[in-house]
Amino acid sequence: MPAIGIFGANGRMGRALTTVANEQQLHLTAATVRAGSALVGVDAGELAGCGKLGLALSETSETSINQADIWVDFTMPEAMLAHLKLAVAAQKALVIGVTGLSDEQYAAMQQASAHIPIVWAPNMSVGVNLLLHLVQTAARVMGQTADIEIIEAHHRYKKDAPSGTAMAIGASIAKTLGRDLSEVAVYGREGITGERAQHTIGFATVRGGDIIGDHTALFADLGERLEISHKASSRNTFAQGALRAALWLQNKQPGLYSMQQVLGLADLT
């Protein structure tokens, strides 16, 4: 079993990863926080609320990167870039669940994947990745006549909008229909907007409370509509998927892999 490390183990997803890794009895050997954090030395399990694990939080560094074979990163884009450099230098595999990447940041991840194996996905849950396949079928059957809208809701603390998952749903639909998402996406409506252009794909964003993550793809035609939804009730579902990806990465060659490949869904397209 590979030795697994967690970047940003003090974050909401970092704590979920620690909890799930402990429940699944995985070989968790490292959990890091940013340099200078007051949490250095705190037991990762106690911080996560799953009991003392005997694993102290350490600073992310050239030294700590060698404490695990495969690392999981749900931090922020800027921190992820620093982690990429450390992983490439130390030849460590990465599972990345960071969203809100700029084109430059995504390109940096692609460049790093020439040297190390990386799984990146805007959403690590099994259900969401199945939804990405279901919307392709819906798009093929209804997409030429139906109006397509994507509605997503998250907690008040989420910093990017629309969510990375919503964008992935839109991209999956647009690709199926032969459209360029950057040209057909509509991210907000206000005032006198005129009639809806049928070829567009709309996005609606909700932020509030402690919503973990809700996503709906709506195909609305005259006389009927189809809604395909996924609702997450716990961050543990994302942690379970990410750790499944970490185990899958063992002994993989350098490359940029998707959760579709991890779950065997890529073969169903």
**Residues identified as active-site:** 154, 158
Tokens matching residue 8: 């940003």
- How far, in Å, CA of 157 to CA of 16, rounded? 16
- How far, in Å, CA of 109 to CA of 176, rounded? 25
For residue 94, the cross-strand partners are: 71, 118
Residues whose CB is less than 8 angstroms from the CB of residue 152 and which lie 6 or more positions away in sequence, other chains included? 162, 163, 165, 166, 203, 204, 205, 206, 213, 214, 215, 216
CB burial of 19-39 (b: ≥16 within 10 Å; e: otherwise) equals: bbbbeeebebebbbbeeeeeb
Among 136, 152, 231, smallest CA distance to 187 is for 152
Q: Which amino acid is at 3?
A: A
- How far, in Å, CA of 134 to CA of 124, rounded? 16
For residue 204, the cross-strand partners are: 151
Report the alpha-carbon angle 19-22-26, nearest 5.
130
Pairing type for strands 213-221 and 147-154 reads antiparallel
Tokens matching residue 61: 């560094």
Tokens matching residue 44: 């990762």
